[in-house]
Chains A and B, each alone.
Chain A
Amino acid sequence: MTGPAPAERERHRIGMYWAAGCGGCDMSLLEIGPHLLELVDAADVVLWPCVADFKYRDVAGYPDGHIDVCFVNGAVRNSEEEEVARLLRKKSRTLVAYGACAIEGGVPALASLGAVEPLFDAVYRDNPSIDNPAGTLPRTSTETPHGPLHLPSFYRQVLRLRDVVEVDYQIPGCPPQAPQVWSVVQAVLNGGVPAKGDGRKVGCDDKSVCDTCAREKRHVRISGFKRPHEAVPEPGWCLLEQGFLCMGPATRGGCGALCLKASLPCRGCYGPSGTAEDQGMAMIGALGSILDATTEERARELVAQVVDPVGTFYRFSLASSHLKGGRAEGRGAP
């Protein structure tokens, strides 16, 4: 390890925290690899439970604004995570929503499509391996011979970080790509970040995934939809035009169109592109414009070939869509 940090640079205090995420975001921050050493060289990591317990202190004991930049990944799924979010907002000068879950709810937000009760049933009561004759469910408070044990309460709706606290920047992606992340971290260290904006997106492109996708657009209309396992795509040709539902057009770039390199369609993890707010409806607007249909029957046929519209068009962004799921009425069969 090289010597002490350059004296002229004031050492930053950086934190990373997860809420309802999967840890992939923390991993992606680890992915900066060798830069990790530069990071700890230039900044004090004052909170990063997954890799470092050194200097792990009582965050609540920090003075307000003690953390210069705090990255938070994961959605807000329960009361505990909301409290954590509030605390970190208080203790951090700059709060950064890190990754799809924190920004748009991510995959876990699909849970908002249904009510909580059936979810608990599926997990704790009704599955092939469950042994729960009494129908026991986790409770926020349980009496034991020794005293009560508490669990955070589970929310009906998956919330974004922005739904509970003010967010200064957002780094999209599931997970954000390491090079992008490192560029942001560097900017943070060298004070090169753009002016704070309410959830301004950083560490991503202004263009769509299509713009970075190497596949050729032939500007032919979609004459039928195929599911990824149903056909082998022609190499080098836009998957959407081939009929593989691809979220590329409606998705912010930054990933480098990685999934397309694996000849699989984009699923939209970088969230809506441009100023669109409802990624799913934006995609429907686009998709409906490029179907090869001149009669209603044909249009209906093609539309019927789209399986699971919400699970596809809102795979990562349901919590930031206009309707946010929320199961109002009806069975909601696709």
Chain B
Amino acid sequence: MAEAMPHAALTKDAPVAAAWEPRIVAFLCYWCSYTGADAAGTARLKYPPNVDVIRVMCSGRIDPELVTAALAKGADGVMVCGCHIGDCHYIAGNHKTMARMPLVARALAQLGIAPGRFVHEWVSAAEGDKFAALVDRVTRQVRRLGPLDWPRRMRERGVPGGRGLSPWSEP
């Protein structure tokens, strides 16, 4: 994963970015949550700029591999939003999300990712205020947790390997 080293480059090439800002990737379903995010905009609600939205047609499309990929590539947090149960534009796409994401959350916790970094919420097309509040909450809690910077963490541990690993330092 030598390619997943944005932050090394970042601190080197872009001093402005040295002041750390949480990087959060949000996967939103088009029909409810994305429209809900639009609603927040239409209502001119203000929320932090740290959450970048990736649009899919249905939250059922959100492959758990996307969550870990985003974290592995340097995201400090990941959000997954879909229609409320019963509102799915595709009948039951979000039923799959509803079962997958708690499993993802448990696995991430076991893998040592603080629970606050992965958030799964239902946001309807009308809930612009909820979306804004959610982004605000998640950004604040990720900021509290500090940088995750998985690529750096892995390089320290010698992934990808090569010489210059940091072996276990003796007592």
Q: Which residues of A contact B (CB under 8 A)?
A: 76, 78-79, 82, 112-113, 116-117, 120, 137, 139-140, 153-157, 159, 163-164, 276-278, 280-282, 284-285, 287-289, 291, 293-296, 299-300, 302-303, 306, 308-311, 313, 321-330, 332-334
Contacts and interface: CB of A to CB of B under 8 A. Distances in A.
Contacts of A156: 156-158, 165-168
Interface stretch (B23-31, B36-44, B66-74): B66-74
Given A76-B161, A323-B108, 16 more contacts: A82-B161, A155-B167, A163-B160, A164-B162, A284-B64, A294-B85, A295-B85, A299-B99, A299-B102, A303-B106, A309-B106, A310-B111, A321-B68, A326-B112, A329-B114, A333-B109
Given A294-B95, A322-B69, A330 B109 contact: yes
A323 B171 CA distance: 27
Contacts of A153: 167-168
A79 B167 contact: yes
B102 A300 contact: yes
Contacts of A82: 161, 163, 165
Interface string B135-169: 00000000001001010011011111111011110
Contact of A155 (B71, B98, B153, B165): B165
A79 to B, nearest CB: 6
Given A137-B171, A140-B170, A322-B65, A113 B95 contact: no
Given A163-B160, A285-B63, A322-B65, A329 B99 contact: no
A293 B113 contact: no
12 contacts: A112-B157, A140-B167, A164-B161, A276-B65, A277-B65, A281-B104, A284-B104, A288-B97, A294-B95, A306-B106, A323-B68, A328-B112
A291 B97 CA distance: 11
B65 A282 contact: yes
List the 5 shortest-distance A-B pairs measured between CB atoms, nearest first. Answer: A288-B100, A157-B157, A153-B167, A164-B161, A322-B68
A137 B63 contact: no
Interface in B65-122: 65, 67-69, 71-72, 85, 92, 95-104, 106-115
A310 B98 CA distance: 19
A221 to B, nearest CB: 10
Contacts of A311: 110
Interface residues of B, number: 49
Contacts of A137: 170-171
A326 B153 contact: yes
Contact of B99 (A288, A309, A328, A334): A288
B87 to A, nearest CB: 13
Given A163-B161, A281-B67, A309-B103, A325 B111 contact: yes
Nearest to A319: B159
Contacts of A306: 103, 106
Contact of A278 (B68, B100, B165, B168): B68
A213 B111 CA distance: 30
Contacts of B68: 278, 281, 321-323
A261 B167 CA distance: 42
A82 B160 CA distance: 12
A311 B106 CA distance: 12
Contact of B100 (A284, A321, A328): A284
Nearest to A157: B157
B1 to A, nearest CB: 8
A287 B103 contact: yes
Of A293, A321, A324, A334, the most chain B CB neighbours within 10 A belong to A324
